[in-house]
Structure 1
Amino acid sequence: MQRSASRPGRSFAATLLLGALAAAVVASVVAFPDRAFQASLQGLTVWWKLVFPALLPFLILSELLVGFGVIHALGTLMTPLMRRVFGLSGFAGWALASGLVIGFPAGAKITADLREKQLITRREAERLAALSHVCSPIFLVGVVGAGFLHSARLGLALAVVHYAAALLTGVLLRVRRPGATRQGAANDAGSAMADGGLLAPPSRAADDADGASLIRQALRAMRAAYVRDGRAFGKLLGDAVVSSVQTLMLVGGYMMIFAVLAHVAASVRLTAAVGLLGRSLAGLLGAAEAVDASAWVQSALDVHLGSYALSQAGGLPPAALLALIGAALGWGGLSAHAQVAGLLHRTDVRYAPFLLARCVHAGLAFALTLLLARPLAPLWSGATPSLAPLGAAGRTGAGLTADAALAAAQAAAAYGWPLALALVTGALLLASLALHGLRRRSRGPRAE
């Protein structure tokens, strides 16, 4: 679905923001050419050696699954779970599983594709983009835990809080004003079939069918979607490759731009403006010293640089340190925000709900870490460094971020993300079928 005409005020504000960002990048390159070059090179290295090879096969696979109708079958089978828990169409299950395994921005890419093909409503797409935007387990445990904090146990604790806060955010996003839900549903009704949509979202009839009927509905949906698409395998594969490469080029550009901005912000000491915030928060957390102001700026701009900078903060109790890192991971960084906004731009999905969800996710992650400090204490009480100290001479934070990310990527390749994606998708399918069976059993046999 193409983006509808936007409001003039919003378009003007977006133009001003993008213009200011472009001017800042140009000014930084002119004022600090060496630092800008090194920063962009580091961003390019992470994108080329980590993001591109990790996401390209997955994005191509996702495009093929949509073309062959497999996503439509999964959407029918996952309807009982997704509708009951999150109030979303069953198609959301694939985006959720992909986000949990691959990490961002995979969820946003799938959400944009589903909305563009009219498989979900705009309201569902806005909530799904927020719900599926999470960090991958490899990044949380391998990069942040083992790489930055020297302990995979700490990474596991962060992962528990991160995913719990994400699920709570998804549930909270379901709550709406009385009457707004029905009105919004009425406005969105039929949109999934408008403008040449491939197939309407699974209807509530899927909830009323028995197990065999549900599977038959899924097979019929897959067949109908494949016939409606009509592309041969060669054409479908070519379109999938072109679309995936274009998406990754967009992601790489954003990564390089925000890497330059983060380094320039530290170079010109713009971080002094947030020093007061760091000292105030340090007093509330009982820290011996304030977190360096540059860590706050880097956390706001990029999740990789920000989590590394926060992990090097001294004088913080373990719970407070993990709470700050968890909040940064929930926020995601403006670099990730720009990637999501760029992927959703071709649809009518708004950015404001995503921004709200990121703020809620960050706040919930911060609060949950402090509340669960005692239950999670065994995860960090006996933690020992699993990597050599990262403070080696001559190494920069960005360089260490790239090294840790590449090490985690090698671990992911060894274990295989396809297997993890299949396991998570299978678990969601089993949970959906189990919920469907329990619901039918509670209703009892229908009268003939």
Structure 2
Amino acid sequence: MKRIFFCLSFSCFLLFLLFFPRTAVACARSGLMLWFNTLLPSMLPFMILSGIFMKAGFIEKLLALTKGFWKSVFHLTPMGGYGLLIGIFCGYPMGAKTAADLYQDHRISRQEACYLLTFSNHPGPAFLSSYLCVELLHREWLILPAYGILYLSSFFTSLLFRRCYSFDENSLPEFKRKEASAAFSWGEALDASIMNSFLSITKLGGYIILFSLIQGILELLPGLPADLKCLLLGFTEITTGTMAIAQRNWNLSVSFPLLLALTASGGLCIAFQSKSMLAETDLPLSPYLKGKSCSSLFTLLLGRLFIEIVKIVI
């Protein structure tokens, strides 16, 4: 079955490239520019710095002061809390990458890494406020509610999965860490972080271009209703998909919860990007997919509830 699906997909791509070369080039260029102008400058510095900080041990010592907070609120170790913070402030798919890096570096257990995958991947703050609320919806007053709904949905998801991936911090085996004072070298850490970060960011660029081509194929499919096509585009890649939905000029009671839910899901493109971030570990993608499904549903319900409350108040 997988082989048949692969052959059909490859055939579709080949036919698209052969018979619609101008559209294919435009889609690939759009994906490349999105990667070059947005992801590369916004994510690469954080990737490099995050790698250096983890190798130096700075973060672990700093977050140890807030150990009680992470344990009681999120059921995480301090380093797990670091993975959550990176996922919130750096955007997709840094939550998955940081969870994989922490696990690979023996800073968190496998169970905690799987638990972290269920709720640590978030859209970047700039995407949520500047792009979604201001550029697409033209309503600045929705920025704070959007943050609240998205992060509350993520917290509900963590409550739902913490029993499934429960772990006892005190019973964890001793991690095979070297003391920073004995093993840490600024030069080696910088070189390793740069190489690892460039490899990861290049993978992301490849997936963005690939899914930009998929969106080009979807837009050419005949017989699809315009509304269904917009939903498929949003499910495939959230940046252009949410733009297509916003251009339909649906009522805010429909568009706001739907756009937030699609943003919370990340779409297929982010799922494949996250999978690539886990490639060098034995971490499965299933916790991420389960968490994103639940988070999207919570976001849709909370978004709809918020709009109904606004209607009553106004």
The partner residue of 1:294 within 223, 229, 233 is 229
CA distance in 2, matches of 1:159, 1:189: 36
Whichever residue aligns with residue 268 of structure 1, its letter is L
Distance 1:22 1:347, change over 3 A: farther
CA distance in 2, matches of 1:232, 1:99: 26
> Who wins on radius of gyration, i.e. which is larger?
1
Whichever residue aligns with residue 311 of structure 1, its letter is A
SS at match of 2:151: helix
Please, what is the CA RMSD of the aligned residues?
2.6
Asked if structure 1 preserves the Cα contact closer than 8 Å seen for 2:56 and 2:184, the reply is no
The partner residue of 2:181 within 227, 244, 251 is 227
Moved more, 159-168 or 258-267: 159-168
Distance 1:82 1:16, change over 3 A: farther
The partner residue of 2:110 within 101, 104, 122 is 122
Asked if structure 2 preserves the Cα contact closer than 8 Å seen for 1:145 and 1:156, the reply is no
Whichever residue aligns with residue 47 of structure 1, its letter is W
Cα displacement (A) at 1:231: 3.8
Cα displacement (A) at 1:16: 6.6
Taking the TM superposition and a 5 Å limit, the aligned residue runs for 1:270-309 are 272=224, 275=225, 292-309=227-244
1:172 corresponds to: 160
TM-score, length-normalised on structure 2? 0.91
Cα displacement (A) at 1:20: 5.3
Taking the TM superposition and a 5 Å limit, the aligned residue runs for 1:37-436 are 37-176=25-164, 181=166, 190=172, 193=175, 197-198=176-177, 225-227=179-181, 230-269=183-222, 272=224, 275=225, 292-314=227-249, 316-376=250-310
Cα displacement (A) at 1:25: 3.0
Cα displacement (A) at 1:378: 9.9
SS at match of 2:307: coil
Asked if structure 2 preserves the Cα contact closer than 8 Å seen for 1:295 and 1:310, the reply is yes
TM-score, length-normalised on structure 1? 0.65
CA distance in 1, matches of 2:5, 2:62: 39
Cα displacement (A) at 1:258: 0.3
SS at match of 1:292: helix
SS at match of 1:51: helix
CA distance in 2, matches of 1:73, 1:377: 48
Asked if structure 2 preserves the Cα contact closer than 8 Å seen for 1:74 and 1:94, the reply is no
Asked if structure 1 preserves the Cα contact closer than 8 Å seen for 2:31 and 2:209, the reply is yes
Identity across the alignment (%): 23
CA distance in 1, matches of 2:57, 2:137: 43
Asked if structure 1 preserves the Cα contact closer than 8 Å seen for 2:238 and 2:266, the reply is yes
1:203 corresponds to: none
CA distance in 1, matches of 2:202, 2:266: 20
